[in-house]
């Protein structure tokens, strides 16, 4: 998988274009700051508490990108990172489930960034690209995360199951949404 893969998200009348690109070492301060947000920490299963842990997180993103198991994108708006987007199991030829996930910085929430990225990446996964096109893409979130439920629904992901909690990593029940190839 090429480390240069980027995806652009078109601007809307009310919002600028977005760029999804691989994470860089220069993004370290953003990762450290993002993981200090209590609202975000509420929903994530992996936490970053220091600059050293953020460096490990960035290295893990690059390693998983290189082996094709996980494409971790920084979401950039006007040259500033405003979130993270991940595609897991994009190599559907290996029999894995393709899924998407994301987080946005506190000051970027409520502006449609997550839904615009989910829509763009879903279209890409279902379309012609270097990967094996996906037949089904899933989006999983905690039952209590109403904002993620709205994103899933807005982007055509149907709620198909409630997943039991699996403490300690997943202390809450989850929703499993899926979208099938059009």
Residue at 49 is within a domain: yes
Domain for residue 164, yes or no? no
- Does the structure show a pLDDT above 90 at 4? no
SS3 134: coil
* pLDDT classification of 59: cutoffs 50, 70, 90: very high
138 belongs to a structural domain: no
Say whether pLDDT at 3 is over 60.
no
CATH number (domain holding residue 57) = 3.40.630.30
Q: Is the pLDDT of residue 8 over 90?
A: yes
Question: Confidence class of residue 96 from pLDDT cuts 50, 70 and 90?
Answer: low
CA distances from 88 to 35, 39, 101, 116, 122 (A): 20, 23, 8, 18, 12
Q: Of 25-34, 69-78, 120-129, 144-153, which range is least confident?
A: 120-129
In a domain, 99, yes or no: yes
Please determine, for residue 2, whether its predicted confidence score (pLDDT) is greater than 50. no
CB 61 within 8 A of CB 44: no
Q: Which residue has the higher pLDDT, 2 or 16?
A: 16
> The pTM is what?
0.91
Q: How many domains does the chain have?
A: 1
> What number is the average pLDDT over the span 97-117?
94
Q: Is residue 83 part of a domain?
A: yes
Does the pLDDT of residue 117 top 50, yes or no? yes
Does any domain span residue 149? Answer: no
Percent of the chain past pLDDT 70, that is, above it, reads: 91
Range of the domain at 102: 7-132
In the block, residue with structure tokens 């059009």: 182
Domain assignment of residue 2, yes or no: no
Are 121 and 20 in contact by the 8 Å Cβ rule? The answer is yes
């Amino acid at each position: 998988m090429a480390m240069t893969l980027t995806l652009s998200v078109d601007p809307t009348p009310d919002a600028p274009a977005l760029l999804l690109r691989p994470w860089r070492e220069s993004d370290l301060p953003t990762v450290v700051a993002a993981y200090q947000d209590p609202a975000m920490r509420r929903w994530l299963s992996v936490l970053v508490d220091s600059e050293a842990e953020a460096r490990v997180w960035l290295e893990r993103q690059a390693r998983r990108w290189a082996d094709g198991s996980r494409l971790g994108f920084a979401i950039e708006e006007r040259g500033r990172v405003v979130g993270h987007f991940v595609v897991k199991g994009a190599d559907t030829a290996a029999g894995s489930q393709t899924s998407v996930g994301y987080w946005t910085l506190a000051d970027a929430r409520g502006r449609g960034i997550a839904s615009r990225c989910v829509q763009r990446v879903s279209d890409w996964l279902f379309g012609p690209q270097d990967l094996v096109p996906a037949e089904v893409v899933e989006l999983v979130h905690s039952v209590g995360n109403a904002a993620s439920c709205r994103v899933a629904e807005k982007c055509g992901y149907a709620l198909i199951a409630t997943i039991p909690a699996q403490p300690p990593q997943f202390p809450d029940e989850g929703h499993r949404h899926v979208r099938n190839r059009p």
